[in-house]
Structure 1
Amino acid sequence: MKPADSFILVTGAAGGIGAAVCRELALRGASLVLGGRSGDELLALETELRALGARTSRLVADLVEEDPARTAQRAIAAFGSLDMVINCVGVQTFGLAADEAAGDTRRMFLANTVAPIQLCNALLPHMTGRGNGHIVLIGSIFGSIAFPCFASYSASKFALRGYAEALRRELAGSGVRVSYVAPRYTRTAFNRDAVARMAEALKMNTDSPEAVARSIVAAIEADTADTYLGWPEKLFVRINALLPRVVDRALIPQVRRMVGFTRRAESGPA
């Protein structure tokens, strides 16, 4: 689907990747519904996008707390119809599974998995009724390669990837497309100080949110089903699917080094 002249809801619009995606779409002539929890952040983004000539509408809502049917209705009402939803909402914790608070686990699955699934399900009658639509779910490389010290986050993104795959098969022939895009480590505030220091120490490959946004929009324009960003990460995704024990040998030796950074996170910045 081409973004030009499309009505698109972007959730998590004020976040690093979300805001960058909105800028890319604005430059391509899309009309944007900006979804997020912070009205002030959305207003600042809206001011920026309107300076680029984009039509925008703000949708201030906590997707975890608000009724998904109501959120869907508000999004559709902004321009009278909706062609696409791009889910950029996400939260994570970094640390050993045994140290993760139960509330953090619940919050992660609600934000990363349950809320986007419920919103997409609520939007489906509108899209299937028109015989046209595009659902874009932003996952993670960790949704294919289960990473130590990100166990619950990985699991939440594995689940989102499974939903995307099943929904794509379910909607075949309906005119509604489903795309799953999996970035690798992205340099945003989402990855707090301890994670950034760990990534630098382990020499993890990183991308800017602008580069990720360009890849997401390119995947949308090409109507690509699954897109994994970064090399050699996309190769490791294939290896992990076929030979996960090979990936074990690469990741398990890193755990001790990673644990050191989780302890620094608990005690504060170094």
Structure 2
Amino acid sequence: MRLQDSVVVLTGATGGMGYAMVAALCQAGARVLLVGRQANALRAMEADFGSRVSSVQADLRLPEDRARVVAAARQLPGFNLLVNAAGVNHFGLFESMDDAAIAELIGINLTANLQLTRALLPLLKAAPQACVVNIGSTFGSIGYAGFSTYCASKFALRGFSQALRRELADTRVGVLYLAPRATNTEMNSTQVNAMNRFLGVATDSPELVAAQLIRALQRDLREVHLGWPERLFVRLNGLLPSLMDKALHRQLPTIQHYAKFAAAGAVAGSSAAESQKPTSLLEQRP
């Protein structure tokens, strides 16, 4: 896909990876409509990127806010790329989550993405070439203890991406599912950071993820999983899930330990690493 002069609607612009994605898209020659919930952050990004961006403050769970995003997209000549990057996380044992927390996470990570995509599809189908990008996760292919609801949302987003791609196969609209591994963002909770430091989890920068997004778009890729050996683990989990069960069972006491602290305090985040040289999601430090 040609990104020079493309017109992008990017959700989650003020989130962990949003800024880096906007920077990469602008550098590639695109113009970007920033969608996010934080008005001050949106104004700051408009100051940083100037005429290449505009913004809409929106909570995409709200029908009226989604309608404002669609109205803004209609005013953008050449709109041809939707990047669904809005998302939240929750670390903790599943039984500690209440109904409201489950509904909020699924609403932001899944339902709002589907609803906005559906609303914008007529505009995308009218473009000479267009694409829907859904930002997923390694945890959209590997169920991981402590992230049950997050995994559910990302597994569903991956399934949606695959089904929609096949549904739109006779149109000019492509669908890309991009699955980062653990990424260093301010969304990370203290507990997740500490646990990943202990487990020696390898992490990527938002800039690396953004660069891989640009690469995937330019090469018209369909599904991209970032990180090694995470890509191997994704395949193993699909082919030999019982093997992955055994490997991940060794980490369960560590996950339970840090989940106790999460239940008593802050919960959020993605993943990050500490001091020792990172290895992988499935390798536990002695």
Query: Hey, what's the Cα distance between the residues in 1 that align with 2:108 and 2:174?
Result: 22
**1:165 and 2:170 aligned:** no
Structure 1 counterpart of 2:205: 208
Change (3 A) 1:99 1:69: closer
Give 3-state SS (helix, strand or coil) of 2:260's partner: helix
Query: Hey, what's the Cα distance between the residues in 2 that align with 1:224 and 1:267?
Result: 42
Structure 1 counterpart of 2:62: 65
**1:248 and 2:215 aligned:** no
How many residue pairs align between the two structures? 266
Query: Hey, what's the Cα distance between the residues in 2 that align with 1:245 and 1:116?
Result: 32
Query: Hey, what's the Cα distance between the residues in 2 that align with 1:59 and 1:251?
Result: 41
* Percent of paired sites with the same residue: 39
Structure 2 counterpart of 1:120: 117
Give 3-state SS (helix, strand or coil) of 1:149's partner: coil
Cα drift, residue 72 of structure 1: 4.4
Cα drift, residue 20 of structure 1: 0.5
RMSD over aligned Cα atoms: 1.5
Cα drift, residue 80 of structure 1: 3.1
Equivalent residues in 2 for 1:84-99 (5 A)? 84-99=81-96
Structure 2 counterpart of 1:9: 9
Q: Answer 1 or 2: which has greater helix percent.
A: 1
The answer as to whether partners of 1:16 and 1:209 remain within 8 angstroms in 2 is yes
TM-score (norm 1): 0.94
Cα drift, residue 132 of structure 1: 2.9
Equivalent residues in 2 for 1:39-54 (5 A)? 39-50=39-50, 54=51
Cα drift, residue 16 of structure 1: 1.9
Query: Hey, what's the Cα distance between the residues in 2 that align with 1:84 and 1:195?
Result: 32
Give 3-state SS (helix, strand or coil) of 2:82's partner: strand
Give 3-state SS (helix, strand or coil) of 1:83's partner: strand
Query: Hey, what's the Cα distance between the residues in 2 that align with 1:116 and 1:75?
Result: 17
Structure 2 counterpart of 1:229: 226
Structure 1: 5+ residue runs without aligned partners?
A: none
TM-score (norm 2): 0.89
Structure 2: 5+ residue runs without aligned partners?
A: 267-286
Give 3-state SS (helix, strand or coil) of 1:117's partner: helix
**1:146 and 2:143 aligned:** yes
Cα drift, residue 77 of structure 1: 3.2
**1:110 and 2:116 aligned:** no
Query: Hey, what's the Cα distance between the residues in 2 that align with 1:241 and 1:190?
Result: 29
Structure 2 counterpart of 1:83: 80
The letter for the 2-side match of 1:228 is: H
Query: Hey, what's the Cα distance between the residues in 1 that align with 2:96 and 2:263?
Result: 10
**1:186 and 2:189 aligned:** no
The letter for the 1-side match of 2:41 is: E
The answer as to whether partners of 2:35 and 2:69 remain within 8 angstroms in 1 is no
Query: Hey, what's the Cα distance between the residues in 1 that align with 2:126 and 2:84?
Result: 21
Query: Hey, what's the Cα distance between the residues in 2 that align with 1:21 and 1:94?
Result: 25
Cα drift, residue 129 of structure 1: 3.0
Query: Hey, what's the Cα distance between the residues in 1 that align with 2:108 and 2:83?
Result: 14
The letter for the 1-side match of 2:189 is: R
Query: Hey, what's the Cα distance between the residues in 1 that align with 2:30 and 2:184?
Result: 25
Query: Hey, what's the Cα distance between the residues in 2 that align with 1:123 and 1:117?
Result: 10
The answer as to whether partners of 2:5 and 2:30 remain within 8 angstroms in 1 is yes
Give 3-state SS (helix, strand or coil) of 2:54's partner: strand
The answer as to whether partners of 1:20 and 1:213 remain within 8 angstroms in 2 is yes
The letter for the 2-side match of 1:47 is: A
Give CA deviations for 1:109-165 in whole Å, capped at 9, x if unaligned.
Answer: 100000001101111111223353110000000000011000010000000000000
Cα drift, residue 264 of structure 1: 1.9
The letter for the 2-side match of 1:191 is: N
The answer as to whether partners of 2:58 and 2:66 remain within 8 angstroms in 1 is no
